Amino acid sequence: MADLKKTIIRSGLETLYFSGLHHLMRPLVGGVGVILTLHHVRPARRDAFQPNRLLEVTPVFFERLLRRLKRSGLDVVSPDEMHRRFITGEFKRRFVCLTFDDGYKDIKQWAWPLLRKYEMPFAVYIATSFPDRLGELWWIALEAVIAQNSRIGLLIDGKEQFFDSRTVKEKRELYDAIYGYLRSMKTEDQLRSVVRDLCACYKVDVVSFCRELCMDWQEIGEMAADPLVTIGAHTVNHKMLKKVPDDGAARAEMEMSRSVIEAALGKRPEHLAYPVGDPTSAGPREFRIAAELGFKTAVTTRPGVLFKAHRDHLTALPRISVNGEFQQQRYLKVLMSGAGTAFWNGFRRVNAA
Ligand SMILES: [Zn+2]
């Protein structure tokens, strides 16, 4: 058992967002710009068990970040403007592009007012099943199952195994282990069926989370009317596209989300974010399809800053995650003060394989 646990932890625990905020210093020392990834902006919760905390930052932290950006002299640009700079080769000033994945209500409530205050453009990538209220935020459903139960049974290789999840420590370890096990699965359909079974067994309503957390179409429409806001596509079902075996199905996920958004908002999205976005979720096939579909840019979560050479890889752009586990002031200090000595040796400029 211990071995199995270790294996699943090892194989899956490479987190989606392993870069801390200190990586923000990179735009100051190399490259032409950087795209930042955020998910939630909301006040901190007190719960001790918050395995998805890396996906959120507080409004206070977020405002501090915006203030620093303002003072830094970097241009904060929309995805369209970023695209224009790549196409025209205009790189005199370094830029930052702010992006939010999934379309959470807290972005509208907490981040949007601050972005308006600082007059900064930004992108929100919508997985259309979320406002359609059919989406499965499986990573949050898994959190709920473990939070609400002190013992979890899970079918592994056809055998039911039981795990204690009484203490916060046990819950954390179990979350990491099951998360890793799920991420190591060959297809996302397998992953979803395990989570659905868990939810059915432990009476967690898997689609309740998109109702609770994600903007509906009216809310998205309100944001889309703001010239600062770019609404981008994030597929229909938020699947790790590389794990979708059928090329046509992967293509349809990207294409349909764009059509659904266009139908709902009257404006065709020209930018895309791959769900999850790490190398196990988006690779050369996805980069090619996004280019064929005519998206101006498509973003991954592969960590990195932007170089001129990304002009030839506009559907495989790296981003830097603003990670909620690293939101202390000292990281921001490192960010601004350590820039001169922080040159990252051996950095591969383009990573699109
Ligand atoms: Zn997402």
In angstroms, what is the span from residue 160 Cα to ligand 1's centroid?
30
DSSP 8-state class, residue 324: G
pLDDT for residue 342 is more than 60? no
- The residues, any chain, with a CB within 8 Å of residue 37's CB and separated by 6 or more, are 17, 99, 101, 299, 301, 319, 320, 321, 322
Name the residues around ion ligand 1, CB cutoff 5 A.
Answer: 101-102, 275
In angstroms, what is the span from residue 55 Cα to ligand 1's centroid?
10
Mean pLDDT of the chain: 85
In angstroms, what is the span from residue 158 Cα to ligand 1's centroid?
30
What integer is the mean pLDDT of 123-139? 96
pLDDT for residue 16 is more than 50? no
Model confidence at 21, pLDDT cuts 50, 70, 90, reads: very low
pLDDT for residue 85 is more than 60? yes
Distances (CA, A) of 12 to 9, 17, 305, 329: 6, 13, 25, 30
Q: Please report the pLDDT score of residue 155 as a whole number.
A: 84
Maximum mean pLDDT: which of 22-31, 48-57, 183-192, 342-351: 183-192
pLDDT for residue 303 is more than 90? no
Give pLDDT tens digits for 253-285: 999 999 999 999 999 999 999 999 999 999 999
In angstroms, what is the span from residue 137 Cα to ligand 1's centroid?
9
Maximum mean pLDDT: which of 15-19, 213-217, 346-350: 213-217
Burial of 286 (0-12, 13-18, 19+ CB in 10 A): buried
In angstroms, what is the span from residue 177 Cα to ligand 1's centroid?
21
d(CA 281, CA 274): 8
d(CA 319, CA 302): 6
Reported as half-sphere exposure (CB side, CA atoms, 13 A), residue 139 has a value of 20
Token pair belonging to 69: 């950006």
- The residues, any chain, with a CB within 8 Å of residue 171's CB and separated by 6 or more, are 49, 51, 146, 147, 165
Q: Please report the pLDDT score of residue 349 as a whole number.
A: 60
In angstroms, what is the span from residue 102 Cα to ligand 1's centroid?
5
Backbone φ, ψ for residue 47 (5° rounding): -50, 140
In angstroms, what is the span from residue 345 Cα to ligand 1's centroid?
30
What integer is the mean pLDDT of 45-52? 87
Give pLDDT tens digits for 187-210: 999 999 999 999 999 999 999 999
In angstroms, what is the span from residue 90 Cα to ligand 1's centroid?
30
Centre a 10 Å sphere on the Cβ of residue 155 and count the other Cβ atoms it contains.
Answer: 12
pTM (two decimals): 0.87
d(CA 178, CA 173): 9
Closest by CA position to 165, among listed 178, 152, 181: 152
In angstroms, what is the span from residue 101 Cα to ligand 1's centroid?
5
What integer is the mean pLDDT of 170-193? 92
Q: Please report the pLDDT score of residue 258 as a whole number.
A: 98
Tell me which residue has tokens 């096990």.
181
d(CA 228, CA 213): 22
Backbone φ, ψ for residue 183 (5° rounding): -65, -25
CA-based radius of gyration for the chain = 20
